[in-house]
Amino acid sequence: MDEVDLARLRREYEANGLAESMLPAEPLPLFRAWLHDAHNAALAEVNAMVVSTVGDDGRPSSRMVLCKVADDRGFTFFTNYRSRKAGEIASHPQVSLLFPWHPLGRQVRVEGVAERVDPAESAAYFSSRPRGAQLSALASRQSAEVADRATLEARVHELSERYADDVPPPDFWGGIRVVPDTIEFWQGRRDRLHDRLVYRREPAGSWSVVRLQP
């Protein structure tokens, strides 16, 4: 196909749908069930999520990261605290997440407030990473310009020789947890009459559910 006519690209969704009667009282069990379905369907990078932030100039920015923890506290990923996303989060902690499970006709949208995780938790996760990933995290000044790839590779090589045994966790690297106040479960349906059911956290901590029109 030499030229793709985007307007004609269309897929019909055949899923049974998502009804209010199917929902648990809290969103996490449903999220875990959908994550399990994505894993069983052998989807690539089932824990990949889009993180969207906004800068001081009001310009939004999105990127894909890997969710490493999803529990009652929120959704956690790990990054360089000097990166663009971490800097924007520090100034504007309201962020959104998106889990895109296209082959299943599903997506989960999360909105909430981001916060840094405890340094001990970050250090524990860092120690579980492969050595190469540890060295890359230590070597990279994430989001900063670099002359060429050789510069990065030389920095990794130098650090590898310096730390022949354990690689110390850098103080500029760690976890960011998004504490959700809204979680939307989107299920594709025929004729674009999709199901959109949204959990909203109430002031007392419980969750309410509303249906949005597609």
- Tokens 């009667």 locate to 21
Q: Which of 59, 192, 201, 211 is catalytic?
A: 192
Beta bridge pairs of residue 111: 96, 182
- 34 Cβ partners below 8 Å, 6+ apart? 101, 104, 106, 108, 185
DSSP 46: T
Does the active-site annotation cover 82? Answer: no
Strands (E), 81-211: 94-101, 106-116, 173-187, 195-201, 207-211
Give the C-alpha separation, 182 to 202, whole Å. Answer: 10
- 189 Cβ partners below 8 Å, 6+ apart? 13, 15, 17, 195, 214
Give the C-alpha separation, 41 to 39, whole Å. Answer: 5
**Residues 70-81, buried b or exposed e (16+ Cβ, 10 A)?**
beeebbbbbbbb
Q: Which residues are catalytic?
A: 192
